[in-house]
Amino acid sequence: MEKEYVVGVDVGGQTAKIGVVNRRGEILCQKSIDSKYGKGEADKFVKALCSTIRELVKKIGLESVNGIGIGAPDGNFYKGTIEDASNLQWAKGIIVPFAEMISKELGGVKTVVTNDANAAAMGEMTYGAAKGMKDFIMITLGTGVGSGIVIGGNVVYGHDGFAGELGHTCAVRTNGRECGCGKKGCLEAYTSATGVARTAKEWMVNSLKPSILRDIKGDITSKDIYDAAEKGDKMAIEIFEYTGRILGEKFADFVAFSAPEAIVLFGGLAHASKYIMKSLTDAMNENLISLWKGKVKIITSALKESDAAILGASALAW
């Protein structure tokens, strides 16, 4: 007898979102839990995650679940591991046999792991803005910058399962910021939510420009910058335009190697698309060869932020 449900899990740097999905691609119930566990605490996170999965499937029974699909930073589709994930303290610098740990905790349920951005790309291709597309790139703009590359309708994994770490390509080569991965000048260090906040802090130190951001006590977040931009704050708007330009310059490079029909923006920072889109599109087209100028669409995800990764991850488990 065919089992009618799967579980999709999206592991982020701050939270993990878990959802039960049926064969029609409907998320029947979902819940978020904290993912901010420390070094050596992978087992604690696994127990918390599995406890939540048991809670969500209580009514249908674990025996009705065909499998569990998980999207996570630095998730290896081939091995089921999370390897040296810079945005997860419990997985930083080590290899966590995540699929094996989850399956063991849940009595042998089939468990599959992939990169979180690859999971989001699968969700977008199946249910969202990229439905019907065979060639596109998904860029996730959250705590970090992830990417899922789809060519000919297939997610690109590479020989080792880690293809598509576009957030760790170099965006600023001279005096670039240090990234959580250990490199300097990475795209992630400038265009993630934390990267945008770093830009604001640097600009306020190095500039005398007035801004309501100067009135914020404590750490500035990308949400603070968005709220300031919504109030017409000039510095906040310029920070987003600067971020868009850096993204656009790198997108021109990405187009050159895979010739996508579209680049899809997903994640928290994509909500600020009205402030970054013009500078992003202009910068991309300025840096493309004539072959691709004006041909590649930049679009935002058509799915709820939690749904794309959950749906994409769940598709792995059928």
306 has a pLDDT exceeding 80: no
Do the Cβ atoms of 20 and 30 come closer than 8 Å?
yes
Sketch the domain layout of the chain as residue ranges.
Answer: 5-122+306-315, 133-301
* 265 vs 305: CA distance, rounded Å: 11
Taking only the tens place, the pLDDT of each residue in 15-47 is 999 999 999 889 999 999 999 999 999 999 999
* 249 vs 284: CA distance, rounded Å: 5
Taking only the tens place, the pLDDT of each residue in 81-112 is 999 998 899 999 999 999 999 999 999 999 99
Question: Percentage of residues in the chain with pLDDT exceeding 90?
Answer: 85
Q: Do domains 5-122+306-315 and 133-301 have the same CATH topology?
A: yes
Taking only the tens place, the pLDDT of each residue in 270-289 is 989 999 999 999 999 999 99
pLDDT for 254:
98
Taking only the tens place, the pLDDT of each residue in 57-88 is 999 999 999 999 999 989 999 999 999 998 89
- What's the Cα-to-Cα distance from 25 to each of 149, 161, 236, 245, rounded to whole Å? 22, 26, 38, 36
Phi, psi for 250 (deg, rounded to 5): -75, -35
Mean pLDDT over each residue of the chain, to the nearest integer = 94
Superfamily of domain 5-122+306-315: ATPase, nucleotide binding domain (3.30.420.40)
Of 141, 120, 253, the closest CA to residue 190 belongs to 141
Beta-sheet pairing, 262-266 with 154-155: unpaired
pLDDT for 127:
83
pLDDT for 1:
61
Do the Cβ atoms of 85 and 72 come closer than 8 Å?
yes
Domain covering 133-301 assigned CATH 2.70.98.10 in the classification? no
Determine the length of the chain.
318
